[in-house]
Chain A
Amino acid sequence: MRTLSRTGVLLGFRIRQEVLEWSGAWWFLLTLVVQAVVAPLIGLFVWSAVYPDDPAIARYYVAVVLVTLMTESFEQHTFSERIYNGTLSHELLRPQPVVVGVIGMNLAIRGWLTLLGAPIVLLTGIALQVGFDWWAVLRGTPYLVLAAVLVFLWTFLLALTAFWTDRVHAVVGFGSQLIFLFGGTAAPIGLLPDTWRRVAELLPFYGMNGLPAEIAAGTRSGGSLGYQLVWVALLTGIVMVLWRAGVRRYTAVGS
């Protein structure tokens, strides 16, 4: 219990530190926002052209934009680069789990992206006259929290491959393509052909993006939190195994 509380305090400090550090990089953060919103916006236009009279499409994609901004993860930059340039050694020597720093930075960046991306979400919503049922949005909150955990675990898992390869950006890029295709950005997964829809509902990517967006948009009244929790447990296990194997393999630059 005491360890948990100490970790919480450390995480709080780290988030505060990172929020302040990133506050000077608002232009760069804005570029991240733009990169994040392009794919959902294209999906919005494409599917609105297919179903011009269905307001649920616009509502769903506005929710996807927001979910994307709130769950973006960049561990291939913030963590893998530390393996490549050897500064991970500093983190390993600190009397705290390395992941505290990684999570702290992740949450700080997400906070900034949400703040800077909010006007885009608002403007899109107003332009398309999208109305949300706020009770549905509230119901979507736990799904969103688990989605954020899932995206982090997935990206961190792929970022850990930096221990074995120097092509981590390609690996994470491939992982992002899977989220785009099966997560509900390329198309709401209810619109996928039956076989692909069933596959997508089993994979973790739907829980990272489409599920919380559908709940918040009111196009789905309830979903299985258990499905997200199973994937959280599974990915956490894989991350822990990979982390241990990776650290054993890691040799600091210069050693």
Chain B
Amino acid sequence: MKLLRLLAAGFSMSLRRSVAFRVNLAFDVLLAFTGLGTAIAAVLIVFTRADTLAGWSKAEFLVLIGTYQLITGLRTTFIDPNLSWFPETGIRNGKLDGYLLQPASSLFLSSLSLSSPLQLIQVLLGVGVLGWGIAAADQVPSVGGVLGWLVLVVAGLVVTWALSVLLACLAFWAPKLQLDVFYHSAWQFGRYPTDVFSRPLRILLTYVFPMALIASVPSTALLRGTRPGLVLAGVAAAGGAATLAALAWRAGLRRYTGATS
């Protein structure tokens, strides 16, 4: 409860800071629209040449893009402002020292205390595209499909957070190693179903950087029906990743001796 209140307070402060800059707001809205528009256009071009792509119909692709956009929006709103460039800002510039002195979980403060509320525009746009995809689909999603999608989206979010924390934890051992860009580049592959890619890349995107869990798996559950085994695997992956992240953070803190030491 205390953490939720802290999250709300951080969000409120960030929101007030953001809306003070109206030109930035206008550009962010514009860029969110054009970014998503470009992504959709790229897919729609494909469907002028084919009815399905790797077994996915146009409607399924729209659901996938909507889900991807929604999770990307939540990531850029709540996770990236904290953990992007963590080796630089958190370790080398000493922001972590400040968090360690505060009476709350350092993992929470380091990974979720700041936010970029304007990026929630991406979430809204994602929901819009999701609705478009569902409306264009041949059949209405079942209740089980919607529930499965919800659970898998939450699982995908937890995995996203855990991966960001694990990447940040590397900085405790190698403060100059900056892998964010590679992570964000791998993230781009999540906009497409893993069936599109070649086998080695598919394995990489399923087990190493589980981008399949971000959008492909929830979208499949929503439109093609939920398989209980898949939902359980998603929940287990989320639990495992979160536990691993917490353990890595604790191990990293034991090693950490302060920015100036």
State the CA gap A167–B31 with chains docked (Å). 11
Which of B31, B38, B178, B182 is the one whose CB lies under 8 Å from A186? B38
Q: How far is the CB of B195 from chain A (nearest CB, A)?
A: 8
Q: Indicate if B173 sits at the interface (CB-CB under 8 A).
A: no
| Pair A174/B178 contact, Cβ less than 8 Å | no
**Binary interface encoding of chain A residues 16-46 relative to chain B, with 1 for a CB under 8 A from any of its CBs, else 0:** 0000000000011001001100110011011
| Pair B178/A49 contact, Cβ less than 8 Å | no
Which of B27, B45, B50, B196 is the one whose CB lies under 8 Å from A170? B27
Residues of A within 8 A of B27 (CB): 167, 170-171
**Binary interface encoding of chain B residues 176-188 relative to chain A, with 1 for a CB under 8 A from any of its CBs, else 0:** 1010011001001
Q: Indicate if A192 sits at the interface (CB-CB under 8 A).
A: yes
Count residues on chain B whose CB falls below 8 Å from chain A CBs. Answer: 31
| Pair A174/B34 contact, Cβ less than 8 Å | yes
Q: How many residue pairs at the A-B interface have CB separations less than 8 Å?
A: 76
Q: Indicate if B48 sits at the interface (CB-CB under 8 A).
A: yes
| Pair A192/B38 contact, Cβ less than 8 Å | no
| Pair B182/A31 contact, Cβ less than 8 Å | yes
Which of A35, A177, A193 is the one whose CB lies under 8 Å from B48? A193
Q: Indicate if B192 sits at the interface (CB-CB under 8 A).
A: yes
20 chain-A/chain-B pairs, Cβ below 8 angstroms? A34-B182, A38-B189, A42-B189, A45-B197, A46-B192, A47-B46, A49-B53, A49-B196, A50-B46, A166-B23, A167-B23, A170-B28, A177-B35, A180-B38, A181-B41, A186-B38, A186-B42, A187-B45, A192-B48, A196-B45
Known contacts A170-B30, A174-B30, A177-B34; is A45 also within 8 Å of B198 by CB? yes
| Pair B45/A186 contact, Cβ less than 8 Å | yes
| Pair A177/B196 contact, Cβ less than 8 Å | no
Residues of A within 8 A of B188 (CB): 38-39, 42
Q: How far is the CB of B182 from chain A (nearest CB, A)?
A: 6
Q: Which of A167-189 contact B (CB under 8 A)?
A: 167, 170-171, 173-174, 177, 180-181, 186-187
| Pair B196/A45 contact, Cβ less than 8 Å | yes
Which of B34, B35, B49, B191 is the one whose CB lies under 8 Å from A191? B49
Residues of A within 8 A of B49 (CB): 50, 191
State the CA gap A43–B28 with chains docked (Å). 26
Name the residue of chain A whose CB is nearest to the CB of B21: A166
| Pair A46/B189 contact, Cβ less than 8 Å | no
Q: Which of A132-178 contact B (CB under 8 A)?
A: 165-167, 170-171, 173-174, 177
State the CA gap A165–B26 with chains docked (Å). 12
**Binary interface encoding of chain B residues 80-95 relative to chain A, with 1 for a CB under 8 A from any of its CBs, else 0:** 0000000000000000
Q: Indicate if B24 sits at the interface (CB-CB under 8 A).
A: yes
- Pick the most buried of A47, A49, A186, A193: most chain B CB atoms within 10 A of its CB: A49
The 4 closest A-B pairs by CB, nearest first: A31-B181, A186-B42, A170-B27, A167-B27
Name the residue of chain B whose CB is nearest to the CB of A28: B178
State the CA gap A115–B178 with chains docked (Å). 21
Beyond A174-B30, A174-B31, A174-B34, 6 additional pairs, beta carbon < 8 A? A35-B185, A42-B188, A45-B198, A167-B27, A170-B31, A187-B45
Q: Indicate if B20 sits at the interface (CB-CB under 8 A).
A: no
| Pair B192/A167 contact, Cβ less than 8 Å | no
Q: Indicate if B208 sits at the interface (CB-CB under 8 A).
A: no
Q: How far is the CB of B198 from chain A (nearest CB, A)?
A: 7
| Pair A191/B192 contact, Cβ less than 8 Å | no
| Pair B182/A177 contact, Cβ less than 8 Å | no
State the CA gap A193–B45 with chains docked (Å). 7
**Binary interface encoding of chain B residues 45-64 relative to chain A, with 1 for a CB under 8 A from any of its CBs, else 0:** 11011100110000000000
